[in-house]
Structure 1
Amino acid sequence: MAAVDGLDALLGSRVALRHRIGERDGRPLFTDVVGELTEGGERDGVATVVVATRRGPVRVDKEAVVAVRAVPPAQPKRPSWSVVGRLEVLCADAWPAQADRPLGAWRLRAAGGFTGRANAALAAGDPGVPIPAALDAVRAFAAEHGITPRVQAPMGSPWSKAVAGEGWVLDAGHAAGAEVAVLVADLDRFAGADPAGVVLADRASDDWWEAALGDSPTPAQRHVLEPGPDGPSTAFGLARAGGSGDPAGVIRAAVVADHLHLSRLAVAPAARRTGVATALTAAAARWGREHGARWAVLQVAVHNTEALAFYDALGATEHHRYHYLVPPERNQV
C-alpha cells in the first residue's frame, strides 16, 4: 500500500516503477518500466496508472505496484550529423543568397552582407577537397563578393572541428550573434493559437518592409526575403493595431520540403505582450500546413533569450546549434 500512496504523489513525474506481472513456480515475477507517470483510470474495476515509456504507454494496476521512485528527465538524444546537415540545407534553401556556389557539400554564399546566414559558407558535409583548400576557396569567394570570409558550421560537428583545426575562430564580433540555436516544433503546436487580425500575402507590402527592416529593401534583402518563383514558397504576415491601424507586427514564412521556416518576427513596442507575436506565428503555421509542412524550424541567436523563451512556451525545442568561424586575423580588435 505504501507504493500505491507514493504513486499518487508522483503523477506527472518521470519515474522508475516495479510491478508484478504474474507468477512462476509459485514465485512472483516482476518487471520495471521508466517514463512519465499519469493516471490511468479503472480497468475491470481496478485503479490503474500509465507509464509513458520510450516504446509506448504501459498500463499498470495500482495494486500490482511494489516500488516507485522519481528519476531525472531523460537526456535528449542528439540527432545524427546527417540529420543536422539536412536541416541546415533546408534552412539555407529557405533563406536564399544572391550567390550560392557549391563546393562539394559546402555552399559558398553571398548577399551583399545582409545577414550572416546568407554571407557565410555553409559547412554541412564533405567539401570534396582538403579543408585548407576549401578554406582558401571561402576566402577567394568572399573577396570576389566583398564580404568577410566566414564559415557557418554546426557546433561540435566534424566540419566545425576541421575548420577550427585550421586556426579559424569564433566570429565574436558578429553583431547578430556568433552562436545560433536551431529550434524545431510540431506545426500543430504553433497553429493552435488564434490568428485573428493577421493578413498573409505572397508578396511583401511597403508596410511589411518598413516594419521588418525599417526602410525599403535593398536588392540583396529583397532577393533573400522575397526570392520569387525560383525560390521557396513564401508568405508575409502582417498584423495591424486594432485590425486596421499602423503595423503592429510582421513575420516571414517559407516552406521547404516538409518544414516551415519562420523568420523576421517583429512586433511594434506598443503592441508587445498583447498576443500579436502568437497570432502571427499561428497564422504562419496554418499557412505552412496548407502548403505541406509538418514541422516548424527557426534560427535564433542564443543571446536572444526573449525570443527563445517565447518559442519555448509555444512548444519548440532545440535541435542543434551552429556558429560562425572566421580567420583569426578577422577577429583581432
Structure 2
Amino acid sequence: MGVQHEAQVNLPTIRRFEGAGFRAWPAANVHYDGTWAVRLTAGYPAKRLNSINPLDPGDARNIDLRIDRARPHFEAIGRTVTFRLSPLAAPSIGLFLDKEGWAHLSESIVMRLPLSDSVVDDAMHQIPLKDLGRFVSAAFSVHGYDEALRSGFKDLVGSIKPEAGHFILEQDGQPVATAICVHDGAIAGLFEVATAKGMRGKGFGRRALLSALKWARLRGATVAWLQVEADNAAALGLYRSVGFREIYRYHYRQPGESR
C-alpha cells in the first residue's frame, strides 16, 4: 500500500517531518512502547491523533503482544486500535497486519516546497487571526464539521506549541477559505486548508494558502510541508501548481470486522 520509493533512502528527512507533524498537530496523550508512539486524544477522533506510529524500521518485535497492550488504551476512550504506517515502520508490521486481516484505510501524501521569496512575492499580506473562537467557527463553516466536535477541535488547535497563524478569507461577510500555518523553526506546516463547498475553483484556497506561506516566510521559514489525502485530486492539483512535491506516503490500518 502506498509508494515509498524516495522515502526508503531518506529516513532522516522522514523523521524530520514526522517530528514536525507530531508537534504541529499534538495528541492529548502520547506514550511509547519501544519506538512505537501511541497517540491518543479523547476529545477529537482524527486518526492522526489516535494511532500507533512505529518510528524505527528495525523495531518489529512482539507485534501481537504490543497490539494487545495498546488496545485497552484505545478502547478506554472509545477508539478502535489503529496503526499509522509511514516508511519508518518495519515492513514486517504491515505483513503481520495483512496476515491478521486488518483493513487498509486512507492513504495520505506528505509534500514539501522549498520556500523562497519568489514563491510568495505576489501573495496577499494577511495578519493571522488572534481570535481562536472566530477561526474555529470559520473552519467549521468551511469544512462542514459536526458541531459535536467543536470543543475538541478548539482544544486541539489551542494546544499547538509552535507559533501558529490562523487564516480565513471572507466574502460578503462569510468565510470561504481557511488555513493554519504552524511555524516551527525553518519548517512551516499547513493544516486545515479548505474552501467552502460552492466556492471552490475560484482561487480562494490558493489565496489563503499563499498568504499563510508568506506569513511563515517573513518569519524565516525555508521549507513548507503539508499532508493531503491521496484521492483528493483537487487539493493535489492546487498544491502541485504552487510547487509542492511528494516526499513520502503513509496509510492507516484497523482490524477487520472479524476481529
TM-score range, shorter chain: 0.7 to 0.9
User: How many Å apart are 1:128 and its aligned residue?
Assistant: 8.8
- List structure 1 runs of 4+ shifted beyond 6 angstroms: none
Q: Secondary structure at the match of 2:97?
A: coil
> Which residue number in structure 2 is paired with residue 218 of structure 1?
150
- Kindly report which structure 2 residues correspond to 1:183-194, keeping only aligned pairs within 5 A, or say none: 183-188=111-116, 190-194=119-123
Relative to structure 1, is the Cα distance of residues 77 and 246 closer, same or farther in structure 2, using a 3 angstrom cutoff?
A: closer
Q: 1:247 to 1:218 in 2, by over 3 A?
A: closer
CA distance in 1, matches of 2:74, 2:127: 38
The higher radius of gyration belongs to 1
**Structure 2 partner of 1:277:** 205
Alignment TM-score, normalising by the size of structure 2: 0.82
Deviations 1:55-114 (A, max 9, x none): xxxxxxxxxxxxxxxxxxxx9685422321331121121111112222333211122352
CA distance in 2: counterparts of 1:268 and 1:105, whole angstroms = 39
Q: CA deviation at 1:297?
A: 1.0
- Which segment drifts farther, 187-196 or 137-146? 187-196
Normalising by the residue count of structure 1, what TM-score does the alignment of the two structures yield?
A: 0.65
Cα pair 1:192 1:282 within 8 Å, conserved: no
* Contact 2:108-2:251 at 8 Å conserved across structures: yes
1:251 and 1:266 in contact (8 A); partners too = yes
Describe the SS at the equivalent of 2:70: helix
Q: Which runs of 5+ in 1 are unaligned?
A: 1-74
Following superposition, the deviation at residue 285 of structure 1 comes to 0.7
Q: Does residue 252 in structure 1 map to residue 180 in structure 2? A: yes
Structure 1 residue 233 corresponds to structure 2 residue 163? yes
2-structure distance, mates of 1:129, 1:213? 40
Q: Residues 301 and 205 from structure 1, CA distance in 2 versus in 1: closer, same or farther, beyond 3 angstroms?
A: same
Q: 2:15 aligns with which of 54, 63, 85?
A: 85
For residue 89 of structure 1, what is the amino acid of its counterpart? G
**Alpha-carbon spacing, 1:171–1:91, altered in 2? closer, same or farther (3 Å):** farther
Q: Aligned-pair distance for 1:221?
A: 1.5
The CA deviation at 1:301 is 0.7
For 2:7 and 2:24, how far apart are their aligned partners in 1?
A: 26
Deviations 1:269-325 (A, max 9, x none): 343222211111111112212334211111111111111111000000000000112
Name the CA shift for 1:170/1:94 in 2 (closer, same or farther; >3 Å).
farther
Task: Extract unaligned runs of 5+ from structure 2.
Answer: none
Q: 1: CA distance between counterparts of 2:151 and 2:197?
A: 28
Matches of residues 154-173 of structure 1 in structure 2 within 5 Å?
A: 154=86, 157=87, 159-168=89-98, 171-172=103-104
After superposing the two structures, state which structure 1 stretch, 212-221 or 263-272, moved more.
Answer: 212-221
- Say if 1:305 and 1:253 are closer, same or farther in 2 by CA, change over 3 A: same
**140-149 or 218-227, which deviates more:** 218-227
- Corresponding residue for residue 181 of structure 1: 109
CA-based RMSD of the aligned residues comes to: 2.8
Q: Which residue is 1:111 aligned to?
A: 41
Aligned-partner Cα distance in 2 for 1:221–1:202: 16
Q: Is the 8 A contact 2:123 2:214 kept in 1?
A: no
1:159-206 Cα distance to aligned partner (Å, 9 max, x none): 25221232355644x4xxx1111011112265244226x551244233
C-alpha distance in 2 between matches for 1:235 and 1:134: 38
Aligned length in residues: 246
1:63 corresponds to:
none
Q: 1:255, 1:288 within 8 Å by CA — same for their partners in 2?
A: yes
Higher strand fraction: Structure 1 or Structure 2? 1
Contact 1:253/1:262 (<8 A) preserved? yes
* SS of residue in 2 equivalent to 1:165: helix
Residues 110 and 119, structure 1, Cα contact 8 Å, conserved in 2: yes
CA contact (8 A) 1:104 1:127 kept: yes
Of the candidates 120, 123, 126, which is equivalent to residue 51 of structure 2? 120
Q: Distance in 1 between matches of 2:7 and 2:250?
A: 17
- The match for 2:62 among 122, 130, 133 is 130
In 2: Cα distance, 1:194 partner to 1:167 partner: 45
Match of 1:145 among 77, 81, 90: 77
Question: What letter is aligned with 2:157?
Answer: L
- Checking the alignment, whether the CA contact within 8 Å between 2:51 and 2:81 is kept in structure 1 is yes
Q: CA deviation at 1:146?
A: 1.9
1:33: which partner in 2? Answer: none
The answer to whether the 8 A contact 1:170-1:323 is kept is: no
